[in-house]
Structure formats: C-alpha cells, structure tokens
C-alpha cells in the first residue's frame, strides 16, 4: 500500500489542520497575555527619558500558591534591584615606589532613597573610608561622598552625583506581621555577586539589640539569607516596598537563618536627620543607666519598688541639674511608667531637645518628683 493512499492522506490532513489551529490559538493567547502583563505592569517599570530618576512602583500580585510567590519575587528583583547599589570602601595611601595606591577595606550594599543621589547604608560599611566607590545596576561606577553617620544605629548616608537613578519606595514597618514574605537584596560577596536575591519570611519583630553604649533598638528578624556583604541592602515586602535595611547577621552553632534588619520607619527618621544635620539629634536625660530593677534586686536591697531603672546622673548633665542623685530609680517619665531601660530610652527619644519633662524617681523607698530640661545626646 502506498504511503500516499487517499485514506491516509485524509487522516494526515485532518491532523495537520488540528495542529495548525493549536499553534494559532497559542500565538493569539500569547499576545493577549503579553498585553495583559504590560497593562498590569508585570514586565517591569515603564521606560523613562534618559537622565531622569524613577521610583519603584508598588507591586500588586495575588497572594496565592507557589506560582504567584515566585512571580512576586521575580518582579521585586526586576523593579527594586536597580535601587540597590554596591559600595566599596577604599583605603588610599602613598607608596614611595608606586605612588598613590588603593586597597579595598570592605564592601557592602546601599539603597537609593532619593533622586538627588542619596543612599542609605550601614555605618560599618563606610566607616574610616578614604574613598567610596558606588556600583550601580547599569554598570556605572561613581564616587560617593559621606553625608552623615549614626554609629549608634549602624546607619549612614552617602551621596552620588548621577542621573537616571531608580529610587526605592519605603513601606510602613509597623504594619509587618510574623510570617509575611520578606526578600533580601544585596551584595553578599561584593560586586561579583551584586544584587543577589534571597527569599524568606518575617521570623520575628521587635527583637532587642543592646549597643555598647547601653542603648536598645528593636529589629526585624528574618530567615532570608543575609551575609556580611548584604549589610546596607534592602529587606523588601511582597509589594516591593523597603521595610528594613539589612544590618546584622547572627550566626550561632545550631542556629541558621537568623538575619536582622533595621525597621524602615526608624531608618526614615534617622536618614532625615543625617541629610539635614549631618548627624542624628537625640534628646538626653543625662544619666548612666546602671541596670534594670527587678524583684530580686528590690527584695535584696529593700528598694521599695521592683521595677524601673537604677541610674547615675552625669556631672553637670540635665538630670544632675534637676536634682537627680546616684542610685535613684526612674519609674515614670511624662506620666508613662518606666519598667526597664528600653522604656526610659523610648520615652526620652520621643521628646525633643529642650523639652521639659516630669520625672518620678524612687529614693530611699520614697517617690520624688523632678522636672528635667532635656539636653542633646552626645554623638
């Protein structure tokens, strides 16, 4: 029987017709999906004229299943990634035989938060730099200038003179919930691994960090991988909004996935001061906080109160001028109960330099009311 007999030809023609219809349907469907994706903004930000800066848009992706989650992370990487930069901290020195030399001391990440070229990063990334080089997503490398630093929170602001920048959109870190999706973007191994993306969740909120000065700050905990080079990079929510600046990687034996970020609400307050004043202006009570008072300490020393903060006034400071004495226990500031050092710091930092606040202390088991005019915390 011939391969081209009539019956076989008719069956083959029917098959070809069916395949052709399937191909046409696929092409038409693809065009419709492409137009729909463009309309929804899933293919990246709209093109802007050269030299103009743009702010990353808020991403709207249905939170359903793994497919949507992957799409969200891809979109976040495409739209927020260009707002994350690499920062090289260089030490410049002169060599008798070779002249001026540059040695890279450290690398880190930063986030562009203003179209004027302002970048927020970690203080330890830029500390002691003789020269800063900022690597942009489009391959440009431009010098950075120091604007201001805040060692207490490990934040700093630098500035570059460049156009056509992508500016990150910041979200409200107070709205975060444990279990929310979190995406970390940064340079975990320097510029070689620029804008690496890791996905995780918000593992915890209000994690306390106690600095060497005794100050306490609340951090966001995430299991999104954060390495030393991620310092200064962005922690982003599912809508592409920066909710934190990656800051601390804690590695303990037996514990993995413990990354920390400074909440975006705190970051925005601090960078506003750094841009305006080159430093962070904080009010000060003018005391050294010896320790928190608990029931054991109170019972052993018959303090008369089992909460508050045991303090020592700084000489000629606001508290000393108001009559505060060593071993006074601060239990109330401006009508708010103070149970520990964080309460004390939080209440003072909520005020302004020059404000006069009522303070209640316990001295010799008796309450004493004082009025303190707040000074400025030394840098």
316 is catalytic: no
Beta 166-167 vs 54-55: how paired, if at all? parallel
* Alpha-helical segments (H) within the chain: 6-40, 65-80, 123-126, 264-277, 295-301, 318-321, 341-349
Residue with tokens 């011939």: 2
203 is catalytic: no
Active-site annotation holder among 88, 109, 196, 231: 231
| Residue 305, phi then psi, degrees to nearest 5 | -155, 140
Tokens at 343, concatenated: 């309460």
Active-site annotation holder among 109, 135, 150, 154: 154
| DSSP three-state, residue 324 | coil
8 is catalytic: no
- Assess contact for 109 and 60: CB atoms under 8 A: no
H/E stretch holding 102? strand 99-112
Tokens at 349, concatenated: 């930092």
- Assess contact for 310 and 329: CB atoms under 8 A: yes
Active-site annotation holder among 88, 124, 203, 264: 124
Cα distance between residue 306 and residue 292, in whole Å = 9
| Residue 8, phi then psi, degrees to nearest 5 | -65, -40
Residues known to be catalytic:
124, 154, 231
């Amino acid at each position: 029987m011939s391969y081209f007999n009539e019956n076989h030809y008719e069956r083959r023609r029917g098959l070809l017709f069916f395949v052709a219809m399937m191909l046409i349907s696929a092409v038409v469907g693809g065009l419709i999906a492409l137009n729909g994706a463009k309309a929804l903004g899933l293919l990246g930000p709209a093109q802007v004229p050269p030299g103009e800066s743009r702010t990353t848009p808020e991403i709207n992706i249905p939170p359903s299943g793994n497919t949507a989650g992957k799409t969200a992370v891809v979109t976040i990487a495409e739209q927020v990634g260009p707002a994350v930069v690499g920062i090289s901290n260089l030490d410049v020195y002169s060599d008798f035989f070779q002249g001026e030399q540059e040695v890279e001391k450290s690398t880190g990440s930063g986030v562009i938060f203003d179209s004027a070229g302002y970048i927020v990063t970690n203080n330890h990334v830029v500390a002691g730099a003789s020269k800063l080089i900022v690597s942009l997503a489009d391959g440009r490398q431009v010098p950075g200038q120091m604007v201001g630093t805040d060692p207490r929170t490990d934040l700093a602001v630098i500035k570059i003179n460049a156009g056509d920048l992508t500016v990150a959109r910041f979200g409200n870190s107070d709205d975060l919930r444990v279990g929310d999706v979190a995406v970390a973007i940064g340079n975990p191994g320097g510029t070689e691994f620029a804008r690496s993306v890791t996905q995780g969740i918000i593992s915890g909120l209000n994690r306390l960090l106690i600095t060497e000065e005794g100050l306490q700050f609340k951090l966001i905990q995430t299991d999104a991988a954060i390495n030393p080079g991620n310092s200064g990079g962005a922690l982003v929510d599912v809508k592409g909004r920066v909710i934190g600046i990656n800051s601390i990687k804690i590695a303990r034996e037996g514990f993995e996935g413990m990354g920390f970020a400074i909440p975006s609400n705190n970051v925005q307050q601090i960078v506003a001061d750094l841009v305006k004043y080159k430093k962070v202006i904080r009010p000060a009570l003018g005391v050294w906080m010896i320790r928190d008072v608990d029931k054991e300490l109170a019972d052993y020393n018959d303090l008369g109160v089992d909460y508050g903060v045991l303090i020592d006034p700084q000489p000629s400071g606001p508290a000393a001028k108001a009559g505060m004495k060593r071993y006074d226990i601060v239990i109330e500031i401006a009508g708010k109960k103070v149970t520990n050092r964080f309460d004390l710091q939080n209440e003072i930092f909520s005020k302004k330099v020059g404000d006069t606040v009522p303070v209640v202390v316990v001295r010799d088991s008796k309450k004493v009311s004082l009025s303190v005019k707040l000074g400025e915390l030394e840098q």
